[in-house]
Amino acid sequence: MTFTEQLLQELAEAGGRIVKSGSGPDLEKWPSRVAAARRSERIPGTKELYGGWCRGGYEIKLVDIPAWRLAVLAPVLVPSRLTRPHAVVRAMQNEPQPLGLTKPVQGRALRLIQALITATEAEGHSSSAGRTGSAPPSHRRRRETPHFTITAQGQPVGFLVLQEQDRTEHVATEKELAEAKKNSWTRIPRFDYTPSERLRLVLSGGQPHRAGEWADAPGRPLEEQLAEIAQEVTLRGEAAERRRLEEIEAARRKRIRWEAAMEEARVQYAEAYRVRCFEAQEAAWRHATRLTEYVSAVRTRVETIPAGQARTEAEAWVSWAAAAVERLDPLSTPPRLPDIPEPRGDDLRPFLGHWSPYGP
């Protein structure tokens, strides 16, 4: 059994993931071993072998290749001439220097854009023009405002069209040499850069899948990569839609939890309100009991007062005081549960924990 076959068998028995722990040279050999296993062509065509360092050592995983990477993509046809340019392409044609490109590559770039927009709009996406007449400075080429945007399922994907540069060794001129000799701060550039006929597309926005940039490569021009770029736009739109639906579902579940917490808070608020009323009744009863004892003592004292105006006034006071005590005594009426007032937000806050009474 070869090393790769042994590794694949071990991964199958472990459910597709193993972690090699330990120390020393044997552990350090695992990255090269995994690389050799990838080159062995024994990995199943629908699987990928991953290796990387983790907290416990070196992690090795055998995972399924996403279905979108196995899909057979229909080539995107690039027109030989722009007979009916898209509105976005027309906006670029109206510029003195479309996309900041040199004339030798302008026509090809516009035809590539026409083909890409046509292919993505056939999938139901929409397109709009951005800053169509300038090239971003070199230090901002990947962060500049897009030349055009394709929107898939609400996810905008921006495109920058860049012209690659050829680099050659710089030959210093006599003037540069003289200037450098005269001024110590003068620096003669090491390289010269000239625009090439190679193009690069830089994508921004959404979740990357295949890549974030596509460029002309030896034996594989951008024309042959447009199908992947069109698929990338669709994949980013699908990922955005999944994320949107997940956020909606998460918000729905969160609201359900909040509503349950609010219902429980209302129950606890009602019970706390009843307890407060109960305690207030007990306090009122004790207060009325003390007042009853006082009124009884006063009545006994009044009975010793000789008949006359003073006694009459005292007896009137005793009658009023007895009636007042009866009104204050909660036992003068049958006990009943109090009506619970509608709580305000701040009334429920003590029973809600980390939740807000005003929404999830």
Q: What is the pLDDT of the chain when averaged over all its residues?
A: 92
- 316 shares a domain with 185: no
Q: Mind listing the pLDDT tens digit for each residue in 6-57?
A: 888 889 889 999 998 887 888 888 899 889 888 888 888 888 999 999 888 9
- How many domains is the chain built from? 3
Three-state secondary structure call for residue 59 = strand
pLDDT of residue 184: 82
pLDDT of residue 115: 97
Does residue 252 form part of some domain? no
Does residue 13 form part of some domain? yes
How far, in whole angstroms, is CA 84 from its chain's centroid? 40
Say yes or no to pLDDT of 247 above 70: yes
For every residue of 76-132, DSSP letters joined together read PPPPSS-SS--HHHHHHHTSSSGGG--HHHHHHHHHHHHHHHHHHHHTT-EEEE--T
Domain ranges, residue 199: 87-244
Give me the percent of the chain exceeding a pLDDT of 90: 71
Does residue 70 form part of some domain? no
pLDDT of residue 273: 96
Does residue 170 form part of some domain? yes
- 14 shares a domain with 52: yes
pLDDT of residue 245: 97
Say yes or no to pLDDT of 139 above 70: no
- 233 shares a domain with 93: yes
Q: Among 117-121, 122-126, 154-158, 323-327, which is the least confidently predicted range? A: 323-327
Q: Beta strand 17-20 with 47-54: parallel, antiparallel or unpaired?
A: unpaired
Say yes or no to pLDDT of 141 above 80: no
Q: Mind listing the pLDDT tens digit for each residue in 272-311?
A: 999 999 999 999 999 999 999 999 999 999 999 998 999 9
- 53 shares a domain with 156: no
pLDDT tier at 1, thresholds 50, 70, 90 = confident
Average pLDDT for 328-343: 91
pLDDT of residue 340: 94
Does residue 15 form part of some domain? yes
Q: Among 111-115, 181-185, 286-290, which is the least confidently predicted range? A: 181-185
- 155 shares a domain with 224: yes
Between 226-302 and 103-122, two packed helices, what is the crossing angle to 10 degrees? 60
pLDDT of residue 183: 86
- 206 shares a domain with 105: yes
For every residue of 263-320, DSSP letters joined together read HHHHHHHHHHHHHHHHHHHHHHHHHHHHHHHHHHHHHHHHTTSPSSHHHHHHHHHHHH
Residue count of the chain, please give it.
360
pLDDT tier at 2, thresholds 50, 70, 90 = confident
Does residue 227 form part of some domain? yes
Does residue 300 form part of some domain? yes
Q: What is the pTM of this model?
A: 0.75
Please give the Cα distance from 215 to 198 (Å, whole number): 7
Three-state secondary structure call for residue 144 = coil
Three-state secondary structure call for residue 207 = coil
